[in-house]
Amino acid sequence: MSGADTRDARSVIVLAEWNAKPGREQAVAAALQELATATREEEGNLDYRIFVDVDVPGSFLLLEEYADAQAVDAHRASTHFQRIAVPVIAESLSGRRARVVIEEDHR
């Protein structure tokens, strides 16, 4: 879902940094692609992008945007998140952190 026409200043943004264990970078990248594909089909998902840090091998930056907090909760409870992120990705990470923010729109 592109969500371009439903975005507003109060959507919920998740900014996450995931660091793969040495030798697990490709496994994390593949799992993230699978997770992203499924997440983009969620009703409340407005955007899901994966970035790779060019200076830090195995460091992935995620930008996720959801219509509201309920959509974030639904994402985290989804079958694909529980199947991919919890057992597969989490076991392949040496570290991770996430921040949940809302946009302060001053346009």
User: What are the pLDDT digits (tens) for 18-43?
Assistant: 999 999 999 999 999 999 999 999 99
User: Within a domain: residue 1?
Assistant: no
Residue 4 lies in a domain: no
pLDDT level of residue 107 (50, 70, 90 thresholds): low
% pLDDT > 70, the chain = 89
The verdict on pTM exceeding 0.85 is: no
Give a yes or no: residue 40 inside a domain: yes
Q: How far apart are CA 22 and CA 38, in angstroms?
A: 26
Q: Which residues contact 55 (CB under 8 A, 6 or more apart)?
A: none
Q: Is residue 97 part of a domain?
A: yes
DSSP β-bridge partners for residue 11 = none
Number of domains in the chain: 1
Q: 76-102 pLDDT, tens per residue?
A: 999 999 999 888 888 999 999 999 998
Rounded to the nearest integer, the mean pLDDT of the chain is 89
